[in-house]
Amino acid sequence: MVKKNSGKKEEKDRQSEAQQTVKEDNKARPDIRQAEEEPVGEREKESNERESSQEAAELEKEEVADKSEKSGENLEAKLAELQDKYLRLSAEFDNYRKRTLRERIELTKSAGESILVKLLPVMDDFDRAMSLMENVSDCKAMKEGINLIYGKMKDFLKQNGVKEIEAMDKDFDTDLHEAVTKIPASEKKKKGKIVDVIQKGYYLNDKIIRYSKVVVGE
């Protein structure tokens, strides 16, 4: 009877030791135990969540790349627009500079135009006086004096850009001449030609400040 009880006790001790060993193994490997304890549905859920997170991260990267590409394209377009504006402004400024330079040159050329125009009637008087004295023989000194003044006046006008428009025996040109009257031409070759100059015309540099008043043969 004693031996039988002793055997039962030993069997019970072995079971206790086995249980204790299992407990210790579970404590040493909690991750394995937890994995064994977790339901299969939970693991699948976590796997799906990880995949969703990865997909979201990839989509976010693609969106950032697209935005960067669009931003680069916008910057290039803006740069091209600014370059175009710069070229147009540069061209406009260059045209403005050239225009103002031309205007300044024209102003310099035409400076004092009104004064010079007022001197032209004086030249007309000299021309008439010279014509009258051609047939006078007893006033040599007066003729020389008038010629001297007349020459100085012509030189003064020439130095200031005033020059006479050629007219006598030239073809009549409405851009240069003003026909006062027409008379029958004495020769066929004088038709359409200027046969007499009533009043001389003048340029100031390249600008006509007075047209020649002429008689035209027909």
* Mean pLDDT estimate for the chain: 77
Give the range of the structural domain holding residue 86, as residue numbers without chain letter: 23-109
The answer to whether the beta carbons of residues 144 and 114 sit under 8 Å apart is: no
Going by pLDDT thresholds of 50, 70 and 90, the confidence category of residue 2 is very low
Please report the pLDDT score of residue 3 as a whole number: 45
Question: Is pTM beyond 0.75 here?
Answer: no
Burial (CB count within 10 angstroms: exposed 0-12, middle 13-18, buried 19+), residue 113: middle
Please report which confidence band the pLDDT of residue 182 belongs to, taking 50, 70 and 90 as the band edges.
very high
Q: Residue 35: which pLDDT band, with cuts at 50, 70 and 90? A: very low
Domain boundary among 74, 109, 144: 109
What's the pLDDT at 168? Answer: 92
78 and 133 assigned to the same domain = no
Per-residue pLDDT, 4? 47
**The predicted structure's pLDDT at residue 145:** 76
64 plus 147 within the same structural domain: no
Q: What is the pLDDT of residue 96?
A: 85
pLDDT confidence tier of residue 138, bands split at 50, 70 and 90: low
Count of domains in the chain?
Answer: 2
Domain end position, chosen among 109, 136, 167: 109
Burial of 199 (0-12, 13-18, 19+ CB in 10 A): middle
